[in-house]
Chains A and B, each alone.
Chain A
Amino acid sequence: MTFEVPKVSYTGKIREIPLGREGNTIIVGGESCYPFHLFEGEMPNPPKIAMEVYDSEPEDWPDTALEPFADVIKEPAAWARKCVDTYGAEMIALQLAGTDPNDKDISADEAAKITKEVSDAVDVPMIVFGCSNVEKDTDVLKAVCEVCEGRNLIIGPVAEGNYRAIGATAIGYKHTVLASTPIDINLAKQLNILLGNLNVPDEKIIIDPSTGALGYGLEYCYSVMERIRMAALIQEDERLQFPIISNLAREVWKTKEVKVPESEAPLLGDMKKRGILIEALTAQCVLLAGADILVMRHPEAISLVKESIKDLMT
């Protein structure tokens, strides 16, 4: 008797979502098996990495993260160009963190202007994140949608509290929405149902079930992503068959472990290497849980993960 590798039988498939403007699209999703289970099914579109760009100069980054972007840190458009030209970014994730009313409170119009400039500067697909303040995001993202009509941006976070306003605007100006829920499979599903009821087309939805950094609740987030994938692929749960995004860099680079210098914590080792590895490891984990798009910061962490994706895909 010969040994046969037991195989999972899949009944579902993740939707393929085209991103970016016409003529320059990339496709995410399309998996018919668990992440990298290529012996059981297909992963026609390997996971993509979006590089972060901020709307204004970041104030709380460790030098190790700032260093690769030191020359462009004040100009979002130049920053985005550097990500694409120098580091070969496949996508850009513009973080409108400065719009936060508790931070710089950049106005909706100003944020829309910055977004337009960045969008004009690069032609790769672009994600635009608000500041996660339900009311402010509504204003900001509506303005962004309007100004960038036809660019097919990925707009988020779209949450339960503002899905109608942002969802409707995204339909009107033809953008993709990023449905964001706090680490809960049922809330994720519910928001997808609500977006469907609002008539957001299924090929315009990407989901963000939330991510924590390594050591900061990553395992909980991992389980939720994993369960979303199980529901989508083997439990015929249609409202969960969407590509997953993981907005992880923000989480990683605010932790104590990437900020403490070696002189203060010699046991933690070289500060630069440490930050890069924590980011890469967090990314590696969410990849294995099912993420299709990773939002990352450090170019060296990105090349480590890219290499790993390449290995896993062959």
Chain B
Amino acid sequence: MSKIICSAAIRGAHKIVGMAEEKYEEALKKWGPDQEIGFPNTTYYLPIIYGMLGIPVETLGDVRQILDKCKELVPPPVSDKVWLPYLAPALEAGMATYFAEEIIEAILYLEQPDFYTRAEDPLPDNIWLGAADDVIMRKRGVEFVDGTAPGFAAILGAAPSIEIAAKIAIELQEKNLYVFMCADHEGKTMSEQLVEAGVQVGWPTRLVSFGPSYRATVFAIGFATRVAMSFGGIKPGDFKGNLYYNKERVFAFAMPLGTVSDEWYANAAGGINWGFPTIADTPIPEILPTGICTYEHVVSNVPHDKIVARAIEVRGLKVSITKVDIPMSYGPAFEGERIRKDDLYFECGGGRTLGVELTVSKDMSEVEDGKVEMIGPDLDEVKEGDKLPFAMLIEVAGRKMQSDFEPILERQVHHLVNYVQGIMHIGQRNIMWIRVGKAAVEKGFLLKHLGTVMHAKYHQDFGGIVDKVQVKIYTEEENVKEVLAQAKRVYKERDERVEGMTDEIEETYYSCTLCQSFAPSHVCIITPERVGMCGAYNWLDCKASFEINPTGPNQPIIKGECTEPVLGRWKGVTDFVNKASRQKVEQVSAYSLMDFPMTACGCFECVATILPMCNGIMVVNRDSMGMTPCGMKFTTLAGMVGGGNQTPGFLGVSKHYICSRKFLLAEGGLKRVVWLPKMLKEEIAERMKPICEEMGIPDFADMIADETIGTTEEEILPFLEEKGHPVLTMDPLM
């Protein structure tokens, strides 16, 4: 921690504790030790002292022990010769500061009962509200817990102008934050500035004018401390629980505007105990490493137009957007809409013009949340029937964002754009195709709105991993070509990354228990090389899903020791499946059809089963209606496989898994496949090629029979013999 900050905080603490001591002595002389003191209408006494120490301060006499505690906590002033780390002493100084300030404020209530209004709203002649009573705290505090108000900004001092003060307040209000104001800068306070600007101040507008002194900071911190006790079930005196509760749930931060005095430093140091960082507009030293706070502790010299955005970023607050603000209706009901020729106003991509969509992650500092730029003509500048090149570049940033999540986010563009009424979206990447209907243009729809949609929906659906989103839309050929070149580079890297992921490299696999509602004992194990059998969830999807919803159906499994490399068994996986299937499945092999095969839910894309006479394996996909050589159609086979049962010889698989290097490794892999429906064979032909080459049988695809060769084992066996299919010389399957 910065030595300058610590020294100042400790100096400040000494001053404030000294002042409390003086006030206490004076009050004691005047009223005696039995005089009751406290904040109005609260059962939490002096809440910070009560929350941290568990000591109820009811009378002046009770104050003595607290002051002694303060003296114990405040460290000696920092000497020039010592270069030790200062974090702990500064935090203790901050804590003592709050205790002392609560005492001073309590005595102020005694000396001048009308100094504060004791109401929700300011009075005509007094804007200082003072400590919130329990009624206000309950009503407002619950908003901190349920997320309607994520937290508060404790502003000390005043902005350089009334306009800037109003702007900062409005920006904070827009983020649903409470603004707790105290202290003055050169005689001016933010509260008075707002009143002067004609902004309504008071609890109902969330702009709370606590008091004119820096000491009123304790009303903000005391509020947070009470929230933890009231709504978090934290016991008085459980300081650790209280501080953690606030760090994790109350998104508060201090925003000093103006010269930071020793006393302000002392208060800021106190706030760090609660996990509340400081974001200052003056060039004070910074404390950037993560430690007590979730991210940085002190960030300084932030310009006023950026200070709210920066504060939100530093505190790790999630932006919540409730409505997609476009002139069209928006929702899943419009996903399936088609725009036919007669309704068509404008189109782009789809082979008609160049078109590309790309989602990439950037550094936090490179993305300005909510910025949507339209570069080139928009729909209000084109005629009916026009076509333009199109590129949508979505740049996201987030503390938890990983480049692995980019393709997952990008894949959402398709349905998220389709949710717009009057718009049709097909494809993805550089084969995307958008059609805009006449009705949409009449209602004022612009291409720029697609950016608005993506910004809102990424925040709504992927808030767990995305903190900031900005969108650029280009409709001029030159720019589009540039984005396209960038996109091709990115696509290549991504494809290589997916290609390079192997089960051996990754230590963590994921479970999927999404289908347990109808297949209670089924647990899908998803590894980099084995996509979920529904084809909808690959390993990266699960990884992202877990980040977004940590209590959801995709849980990480540390695979542990590999007990059977060919069958695909790991100790961690076995234990997990056993527990998650509630002891129904005791063992599972990721790569075998015969030996403890994976259970299936009912959502598999294909079924694999054995053909004993051919000594091989057949796979049939869901769309295939006809008879298969095993004597059963897909529907009959599906009945054998589903429901969470282990049926050796029958397995649910995804199309993708057929071309995996881990496909039924235990039975010999792709080499065992003797029959596929023609449509499935054609669909996976491209991806099968490299595997066939690795097997040393480049024309292997031609050796696999399909329904045109036969739909019984007797019919296909001669074909296999004629082609010299490798199964004929492989070990018997059973």
Contacts and interface: CB of A to CB of B under 8 A. Distances in A.
A211 interface: no
Nearest to A194: B551
Contacts of B552: 190
Contacts of B551: 190, 193-194, 197
A186 B553 contact: yes
Interface stretch (A104-112, A227-235, A257-265, A301-309): A227-235
Given A146-B138, A199-B233, A235-B583, A168 B517 contact: no
A288 interface: no
Contacts of A166: 146
A165 B142 CA distance: 7
Q: Chain A at the B interface: mostly helix, strand, loop or mixed?
A: helix
Given A165-B142, A184-B517, A190-B552, A171 B233 contact: yes
B31 interface: no
B731 to A, nearest CB: 39
7 closest A-B pairs by beta carbon, nearest first, are A168-B145, A165-B146, A164-B146, A184-B517, A235-B582, A199-B232, A199-B233
Interface residues of A, number: 29
A186 B520 CA distance: 9
B97 interface: no
B138 A186 contact: no
Given A142-B142, A198-B145, A171 B231 contact: yes
Contacts of A169: 142, 146
Interface residues on B, range: 20 to 34
B141 A172 contact: yes
A28 B520 CA distance: 27
Given A165-B142, A165-B148, A171-B230, A186 B582 contact: no
B517 A185 contact: yes
Contacts of B359: none
A146 B516 CA distance: 38
Nearest to A192: B551
A241 to B, nearest CB: 14
A201 interface: yes
Contact of A164 (B147, B233, B520, B553): B147
A230 B142 contact: no
Nearest to A235: B582
B545 interface: no
Interface string A209-252: 00000000000000000010011000101000000000000000
Interface of A: 142, 146, 164-169, 171-173, 183-187, 190, 193-194, 197-201, 227, 230-231, 235, 237
Contacts of A172: 138, 141-142, 230-231
A237 B233 CA distance: 24
Contact of B142 (A168, A183, A187, A227): A168
A183 B142 CA distance: 29
Given A165-B142, A165-B146, A169-B142, 14 more contacts: A146-B138, A165-B148, A166-B146, A168-B145, A168-B231, A171-B232, A172-B138, A183-B517, A185-B520, A186-B553, A190-B552, A197-B551, A199-B231, A201-B233
A172 B229 CA distance: 9
B516 A185 contact: yes
A166 B145 CA distance: 10
17 contacts: A165-B142, A165-B146, A165-B147, A171-B145, A171-B230, A171-B233, A172-B231, A185-B517, A186-B513, A186-B516, A190-B551, A198-B145, A199-B231, A200-B233, A227-B520, A235-B582, A237-B582
Interface in B127-167: 138-139, 141-142, 145-148
A119 B583 CA distance: 45
A149 to B, nearest CB: 9
Contacts of B142: 142, 165, 168-169, 172
A235 B584 CA distance: 11
A40 to B, nearest CB: 18
Interface in B29-43: none
Contacts of B138: 146, 172-173
A193 B516 CA distance: 17
Nearest to B234: A199
Nearest to B139: A146
Contacts of A187: 517
B145 A164 contact: yes
A197 B145 CA distance: 11
Interface in B96-153: 138-139, 141-142, 145-148
Contacts of A201: 233
A167 B582 CA distance: 29
B317 to A, nearest CB: 16
A99 B604 CA distance: 43
Nearest to B515: A186
Interface string B212-247: 000000000000000000111110000000000100
A171 B141 CA distance: 12
Contacts of B516: 185-186
Contacts of A167: 145-146
Nearest to B514: A186
Nearest to A193: B551
Interface string B497-534: 00000000000000001001100100000000000000
B51 to A, nearest CB: 15
Contacts of B230: 171-172
